[in-house]
Amino acid sequence: MTDLALAIVHHLLVFGLAAVLAAELALMRPAAISPQTVRLLGRFDAAYGLLALAILAAGFIRVWYGAKGADFYLANHAFWAKIIAFGIVGLLSIEPTRRIAAWQKGTKADAAFVPPLAEIGRLRRLLLIEIHVFALIPIFAAAMARGVGHTAG
Ligand code: HEM
């Protein structure tokens, strides 16, 4: 029962994160940007941070309290590849988060503030890279769940 509940929570959080990433990408376009969009991006980015933390917590709880036991995962290369990919996604999200936070300050100081177009383009590229690395995570997850990548011994 615990395993099932953890799996449900993990999947819902993961789909939530994917939705937030897609929403951020849709808003992060020179043609779409406006003071309202900047405020929305701030809210999505806050949700993104909370979801990422919750996934990390739910994921590690699954490792330790899931049906297969921690050794099943810790001795699996696909598990570590998944963690590394998750870490890279986290690192790639630092710059967009910082810029989005700076834009929030900009809109507070000046209601008509709109971020520079070149910066929007740069962050859009970063988000696209982030989404592609993110796509690797379920691939590693499916492999690790089936013991593919398990070290011998
Ligand atoms: C955004 C990040 C993540 C995504 C997209 C993701 C995705 C998935 C998916 C799709 C599965 C189901 C695999 C299957 O049954 O075929 C899964 C299972 C699992 N994930 Fe994650 N995950 C993420 C983060 C994490 C983290 C950070 C951890 C651990 C620290 C973790 C631990 C687990 C565990 C233990 C399972 C259970 C595998 C099994 O059934 O044996 N996940 N994940």
Ligand 1 atom with the smallest distance to the CA of 52 is 1
pLDDT tens digits along 80-134: 999 999 999 999 999 999 999 999 999 999 999 999 999 999 999 999 999 999 9
CB distance 56 to ligand 1 below 6 Å = yes
| Angle (CA) 133 36 20, round 5° | 25
Q: Which of 62, 93, 130 to mutate to test the pocket of ligand 1 (most atoms within 8 A of CB)?
A: 62
Q: What is the residue with the minimal CA distance to atom 25 of ligand 1?
A: 59
- CB of 64 sitting under 6 A from ligand 1: no
> What pLDDT score does 153 carry?
58
pTM: 0.94
Name the 3-class secondary structure at 24: helix
86 lines ligand 1 (CB under 6 A): yes
Q: Which single residue is written with the structure tokens 């690192």?
A: 91
